[in-house]
């Protein structure tokens, strides 16, 4: 019997700052190393055939960081998206579809444009969907979905008593994708931090003390191996 691959894996890319500080580097250097880890893990996940991966890159709360750090992170997104443009043939061969996941308001327009281009150009590449959570918060995402339904109710198109969980799910940024089977958080923290809180209702959780920039493809293999050994009951026995 082959190993059962998770259909959707979430990664909370944590520990870049500590990685940099422990080396006497700036926090921005840590985020650059984090982006290298993202590239490595994203590529590997596509190669082994994971259906969906979601990477938490910037939360709605991360705007509170020093302006210099925020701008360094935004530049990392720009660089990556330009690079993805240059590598679009390779990404097409891998069957990778990129998807922006987060609030648009407050984001620099040029970054949204780059994301939109990458997303539109890869729309027919359906092997692996890579969601990049930027300016993302799980509660805001649920609110966004619920408001959409509220508008339908107000317009007289929807009976409030007929609202189902599926209707809320289909208004989330991950609509049409499987729920995350497992969520990975490095750097020793054991919390969700507002990441896919609706979708993660039954997700397995996997953590390690390693910091995100040190996360390797061997660690990824270990996640998959551990996942295949867990017995998920979904509330049953």
SS3 134: strand
Active site annotation includes 113: no
**Does residue 227 belong to the site contacting ligand FPP (CB under 6 A)?**
no
How far, in Å, CA of 51 to CA of 233, rounded? 22
Q: Of these residues, 14, 16, 91, 181, which one is catalytic? A: 14
Contacts of 153 (CB under 8 A, 6+ apart): 159, 160, 163
Q: Of these residues, 36, 62, 161, 209, which one is catalytic? A: 62
| Contact pick of 6, 9, 10, 38 for ligand FPP (by CB under 6 A) | 38
| Contact pick of 9, 10, 11, 13 for ligand FPP (by CB under 6 A) | 13
Stretch that binds ligand FPP, among 52-60, 110-118, 169-177, 220-228 (CB under 6 A): 52-60
Q: How many residues bind ligand FPP (CB under 6 A)?
A: 19
CB of 147 to ligand FPP, least distance (A): 27
Please answer whether residues 50 and 9 qualify as being in contact, where contact means their C-beta atoms are separated by less than 8 angstroms: yes
- Residue 75 or 169: the one with the smaller Cβ distance to ligand FPP is 75
**Does residue 98 belong to the site contacting ligand FPP (CB under 6 A)?**
no
How far, in Å, CA of 55 to CA of 46, rounded? 13
Task: Convert residues 103-142 into a mask of x (bound to ligand FPP by CB under 6 A) and - (unbound).
Answer: -----------------------------x----------
How far, in Å, CA of 1 to CA of 16, rounded? 38
Contacts of 25 (CB under 8 A, 6+ apart): none
Q: How many residues does the chain have?
A: 237
Contacts of 109 (CB under 8 A, 6+ apart): none
Q: Which helix (H) or strand (E) holds 225?
A: helix 217-229
| Contact pick of 7, 18, 148, 222 for ligand FPP (by CB under 6 A) | 18
How far, in Å, CA of 14 to CA of 213, rounded? 9
Active site annotation includes 194: no
Point out which residues bind ligand FPP (CB under 6 A).
Answer: 13-18, 31, 34-35, 38, 55, 57-58, 62, 73, 76-77, 80, 132
Active-site amino acid positions: 14, 62
């Amino acid at each position: 019997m082959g190993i059962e691959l998770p259909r959707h894996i979430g990664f909370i890319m944590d520990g870049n700052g500590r990685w940099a500080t422990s080396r006497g580097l700036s926090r921005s250097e840590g985020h650059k190393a984090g982006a290298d880890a993202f590239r490595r893990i994203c590529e590997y996940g596509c190669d082994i055939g994971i259906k969906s991966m979601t990477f938490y890159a910037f939360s709605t709360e991360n705007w509170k960081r020093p302006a210099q750090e925020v701008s360094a992170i935004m530049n990392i997104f720009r660089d990556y998206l330009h690079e993805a443009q240059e590598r679009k043939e390779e990404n097409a061969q891998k069957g990778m579809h990129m998807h922006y996941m987060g609030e648009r308001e407050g984001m620099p327009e040029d970054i949204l444009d780059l994301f939109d281009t990458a997303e539109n150009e890869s729309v027919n590449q359906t092997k692996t969907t890579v969601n990049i959570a930027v300016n993302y918060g799980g509660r805001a995402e649920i609110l966004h979905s619920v408001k959409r339904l509220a508008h339908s109710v107000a317009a007289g198109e929807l009976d409030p008593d007929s609202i189902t969980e599926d209707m809320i799910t289909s208004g989330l940024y991950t609509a049409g994708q499987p729920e995350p089977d497992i969520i990975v958080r490095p750097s020793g923290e054991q919390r969700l931090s507002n990441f896919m809180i609706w979708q993660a209702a039954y997700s397995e959780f996997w953590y390690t003390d390693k910091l995100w920039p040190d996360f390797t493809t061997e660690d990824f293999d270990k996640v998959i191996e551990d996942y295949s050994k867990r017995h998920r009951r979904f509330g049953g026995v």
